[in-house]
Amino acid sequence: MLLLVLAAAAWLARSHLSDVLTFTEDRAGDPKPLHPVAVSASSESPAHRAQAAFDGFSNRYWAPAGRGSGTGQYLDAEFDRPVRLQKLLITSGSSANGDEFLAQARPSEITVTLISAEGARTTKGINLNDAPGQQSFDVRGSDVTRVRLTVDAAYGVRSDRRVAVAEVEFFGRQ
């Protein structure tokens, strides 16, 4: 009788069990690098294309075509299949090197938009420090096929500078 009750309870709770397993996998395992198959931007400087922000090198960077704060400019990254996103690393500025970091404007606020396979959108605002090097953010989403990073504000804005993003990295599970 006890076995039948346990089997019935497990069958009724099966949808919740997958959530528990997913939660456990997220907490127990290390997130793996997720590589986009396509990247684009709202605009790009001819010398600083969108691909530079996803090439694995922090001495190359994306910058929009226009000079100034870059407010409203964005980077898009698309995955070949839905992923479970857990973490985002951003290296802002034109380089992770302290001397070169201040050469261009740097994002201070970014809106991260996660787009699922069904087209559902989830947004999260992140604030970046004005410091060279990687900055890590917990950005969680399931069935994510595209991520948009939109610049909302920037540090070091001048009329002769462009906002710069040296590197963007995603971590999670396929």
Number of domains composing the chain: 2
Domain shared by 114 and 72, yes or no: yes
Domain shared by 22 and 95, yes or no: no
Q: Cα separation of 33 and 12, whole Å?
A: 35
28 vs 142 pLDDT, higher one: 142
Domain shared by 160 and 108, yes or no: yes
**Domain holding 121: CATH number?**
2.60.120.260
Tell me the average pLDDT across 93-109. 93
Domain shared by 20 and 64, yes or no: no
Domain shared by 21 and 42, yes or no: no
What is the pLDDT, as a whole number, of residue 18? 53
What is the pLDDT, as a whole number, of residue 17? 55
Tell me the average pLDDT across 37-44. 98
Domain shared by 53 and 80, yes or no: yes
pLDDT band at 28 (very low <50, low <70, confident <90, very high): low
Say what the pTM is.
0.83
Domain shared by 47 and 22, yes or no: no
pLDDT band at 154 (very low <50, low <70, confident <90, very high): very high
Give the structural domain span for 131: 32-173
What is the pLDDT, as a whole number, of residue 98? 85
pLDDT above 80: residue 9? no
Domain shared by 77 and 89, yes or no: yes
Domain shared by 78 and 128, yes or no: yes
Domain shared by 48 and 17, yes or no: no
Domain shared by 14 and 43, yes or no: no
pLDDT band at 24 (very low <50, low <70, confident <90, very high): very low
153: exposed, middle or buried (Cβ count in 10 Å: 0-12, 13-18, 19+): middle
Write the CB contacts of 59 (distance below 8 Å, at least 6 apart in sequence): 95, 96, 97, 100, 166
Q: Cα separation of 77 and 81, whole Å?
A: 12
Domain shared by 41 and 119, yes or no: yes
Under 8 Å between Cβ of 153 and 107: yes
Determine how β-strand 38-41 pairs with β-strand 74-92. antiparallel
